[in-house]
């Protein structure tokens, strides 16, 4: 039997968009193109050309994660250390582990604030466990690593004397960590493809069908060309790692549909690694303000180079209030005409908010970070910084604000991310962090679908409208009406371009 030309998807409630809020009963999809051709307030009868499928629960537009590292992680993913709570256990694992990147062993995911021993061990500890091969243990945020002598020697770091490298302890941050990343052998294409497929399935089962890749190395482009992805990718190139020709071509789309839409720069590091750039000193380290990772000329150069390109994204990672302010000032001085994004914006002062608003700068935030950071943020920052941390509502009220998870720094879990955006605490905690900065379900969902797609240049996604792709998620309960249930909501089915990909 041949398939009918049209298929109608219906649910108890079908949400087309969240700002404005529009809910209907069903959509009709052209099977051949996966495009929505009609929106209906009822459920039509089956006919010779129309099949009707009804679901329990609700249908929402599929999630677009505005900041992930799925492609980068497919290449970097070594041993996964997330969830481990003692250094002793880490030692046990790496003692016998097979190398992950040819003869190198890369492991990622430790977080000292979750370790029973508290402090971070140094390279003497690591050398004693293993120094027959280069070993690199990367912190969960990707902004710091501990490495053994073998890794220091083979990467050439022993001849490097930047502030972000502590050779005695084997602590490597930011630029120094980049040197390590470039020195380590690449994974095989086969391993990359396998990692990617696993990660893509993981995204799909969470209802995420679009991703803005926040910075990849040029050596990955030849691997990315080989993929046949089900989810949609908008990829930002790490500015300094690309040749002029690649930058000149922006935006370009590969034959497999993966779109290269702009560049990514780093202005500072992270709070977890004490490298975010602050106006006021860190509380945990006296008279220390963090790092600006490149000279100011570097940012100016790229902004000038791409100044007249309308259809691209310029995204800069800035976490500390000083980093956010300085990059906003540069955006404001050079005035590039494309989409100007600041990634993370974890601390921001009032005068910087005006600067963002006047220059139409997009805030790309990851509420889910708050669930981790909340546990140590008060010991890390002085009061004057703490007051301006994680101002989601203030940002939302003033500038285009979009949501992401920064996967694999955090899990690519939309429901936990939404919970963090709305409740600003872990489900088992009593107190919210600055509850006046909570977002509503409508703001959060709009920022996670329509706006995330728009400011990631992922066309045809984010709302269930005529002419858009039928990329949607069936969820077991109506967490739009009852946001307090979001943490227990479950993805039942996921469709991409009208085709079921999960459930």
Please report, as ranges, the residues that interact with Zn ion according to CB under 5 A: 214, 406
Of 23, 4, 67, 3, nearest to 481 by C-alpha is 23
Taking the complex as a whole, how short is the minimal distance between the CB of residue 21 and Zn ion, in angstroms? Answer: 30
Taking the complex as a whole, how short is the minimal distance between the CB of residue 68 and Zn ion, in angstroms? Answer: 8
Taking the complex as a whole, how short is the minimal distance between the CB of residue 215 and Zn ion, in angstroms? Answer: 7
Of 404, 34, 489, nearest to 210 by C-alpha is 404
Q: In this structure, what token pair is assigned to residue 86?
A: 């003692």
Taking the complex as a whole, how short is the minimal distance between the CB of residue 409 and Zn ion, in angstroms? Answer: 6
Q: In this structure, what token pair is assigned to residue 488?
A: 């227990």
H or E stretch at 403? strand 401-403
For Zn ion, which is the closer residue by CB, 232 or 344?
344
Q: Is beta strand 208-216 parallel, antiparallel or unpaired with respect to 171-173?
A: unpaired
What values do phi and psi take at 419, rounded to 5? -60, -45
What values do phi and psi take at 288, rounded to 5? -130, 130
Spatial CB neighbours of 118, under 8 Å, sequence gap ≥ 6 = 112
Taking the complex as a whole, how short is the minimal distance between the CB of residue 494 and Zn ion, in angstroms? Answer: 24
Taking the complex as a whole, how short is the minimal distance between the CB of residue 464 and Zn ion, in angstroms? Answer: 28
Q: In whole angstroms, give the CA distance from residue 366 to residue 161.
A: 33
For Zn ion, which is the closer residue by CB, 324 or 491?
324
Calculate the CA 38 to chain-centre distance. 33
Q: In whole angstroms, give the CA distance from residue 116 to residue 114.
A: 7
H or E stretch at 304? helix 296-305
For Zn ion, which is the closer residue by CB, 164 or 406?
406
For Zn ion, which is the closer residue by CB, 214 or 258?
214
Taking the complex as a whole, how short is the minimal distance between the CB of residue 406 and Zn ion, in angstroms? Answer: 4
Taking the complex as a whole, how short is the minimal distance between the CB of residue 272 and Zn ion, in angstroms? Answer: 12
Taking the complex as a whole, how short is the minimal distance between the CB of residue 95 and Zn ion, in angstroms? Answer: 31
Taking the complex as a whole, how short is the minimal distance between the CB of residue 195 and Zn ion, in angstroms? Answer: 18
User: Which residue's structure tokens are 């250094």?
Assistant: 87
For Zn ion, which is the closer residue by CB, 343 or 443?
343
Query: Per DSSP, which regions of 148-295 are E strands?
Result: 165-166, 171-173, 208-216, 232-238, 252-253, 259-266
Q: In this structure, what token pair is assigned to residue 472?
A: 């949607």
H or E stretch at 330? helix 321-334
For Zn ion, which is the closer residue by CB, 214 or 227?
214
For Zn ion, which is the closer residue by CB, 406 or 478?
406
- Check the CA dihedral 470-51-16-414 and report its sign: negative
3-state SS assignment for residue 484: helix
For Zn ion, which is the closer residue by CB, 68 or 148?
68
Task: Give how far Cα 398 sits from Cα of 237, 352, 380, Å.
Answer: 28, 11, 27
For Zn ion, which is the closer residue by CB, 214 or 453?
214
Q: In this structure, what token pair is assigned to residue 327?
A: 């990059």
For Zn ion, which is the closer residue by CB, 214 or 420?
214
What values do phi and psi take at 461, rounded to 5? -125, 165
Spatial CB neighbours of 489, under 8 Å, sequence gap ≥ 6 = 415, 475, 476, 477, 479
């Amino acid at each position: 039997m041949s398939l009918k030309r049209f298929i109608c998807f219906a649910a108890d409630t079908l949400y087309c968009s969240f700002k404005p809020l529009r809910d209907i009963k069903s959509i009709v999809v052209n099977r051949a193109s996966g495009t929505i051709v009609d929106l209906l307030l009822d459920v039509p009868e089956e006919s010779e050309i129309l099949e009707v499928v009804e679901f329990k629960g609700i249908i929402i537009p599929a999630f677009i994660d505005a900041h992930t590292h799925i492609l980068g992680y497919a290449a970097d993913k070594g041993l996964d250390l997330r969830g481990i709570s003692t250094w002793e256990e880490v030692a046990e694992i790496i003692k016998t582990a097979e190398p992950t990147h040819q003869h190198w062993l890369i492991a990622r995911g430790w977080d000292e604030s979750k370790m029973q021993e508290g402090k971070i061990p140094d390279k003497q500890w690591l050398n004693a466990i293993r120094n027959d091969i280069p070993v690199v243990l990367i912190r969960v945020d990707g902004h710091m690593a501990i490495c053994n002598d073998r890794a220091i020697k083979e990467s050439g770091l022993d001849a490097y004397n930047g502030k972000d490298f502590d050779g005695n302890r084997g602590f490597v941050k930011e630029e120094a960590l980049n040197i390590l990343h470039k020195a380590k052998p690449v994974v095989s294409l086969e391993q990359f493809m396998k990692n990617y497929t696993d990660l893509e399935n993981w995204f799909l089962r969470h209802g995420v069908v679009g991703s803005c890749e926040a910075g990849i190395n040029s050596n990955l482009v030849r691997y990315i060309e080989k993929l046949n992805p089900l989810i949609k990718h908008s990829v930002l190139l790490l500015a300094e790692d690309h040749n002029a020709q690649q930058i000149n071509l922006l935006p370009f789309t590969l034959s497999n549909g993966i779109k290269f839409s702009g560049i990514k720069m780093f202005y500072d590091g992270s709070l977890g690694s004490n490298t975010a750039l602050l106006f006021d000193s860190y509380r945990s380290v006296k008279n220390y303000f963090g790092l600006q990772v490149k000279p100011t000329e570097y940012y100016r150069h790229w902004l000038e180079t791409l100044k007249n390109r309308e259809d691209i994204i310029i995204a800069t990672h800035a976490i500390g209030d000083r980093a956010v302010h300085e990059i906003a000032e540069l955006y404001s001085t050079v005035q590039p005409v494309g989409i100007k994004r600041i990634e993370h914006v974890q601390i921001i002062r009032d005068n910087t908010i005006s600067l963002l608003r006047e220059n139409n700068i997009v805030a790309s935030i990851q509420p889910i970070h708050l669930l981790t950071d909340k546990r140590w943020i008060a010991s890390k920052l002085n009061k004057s910084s703490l007051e301006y941390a994680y101002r989601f509502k203030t940002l939302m009220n003033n500038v285009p604000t979009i949501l992401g998870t920064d996967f694999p720094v955090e899990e690519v879990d939309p429901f936990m991310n939404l919970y963090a955006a709305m409740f600003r605490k872990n489900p088992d905690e009593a107190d919210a962090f600055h509850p006046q900065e909570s977002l509503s379900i409508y703001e959060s969902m709009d920022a996670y679908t329509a706006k995330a797609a728009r400011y990631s240049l992922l066309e045809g996604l984010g709302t269930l409208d005529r002419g858009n792709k039928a990329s949607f998620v069936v969820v077991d309960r109506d967490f739009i009406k009852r946001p307090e249930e979001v943490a227990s909501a479950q993805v039942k089915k996921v469709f991409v371009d009208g085709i079921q990909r999960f459930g």
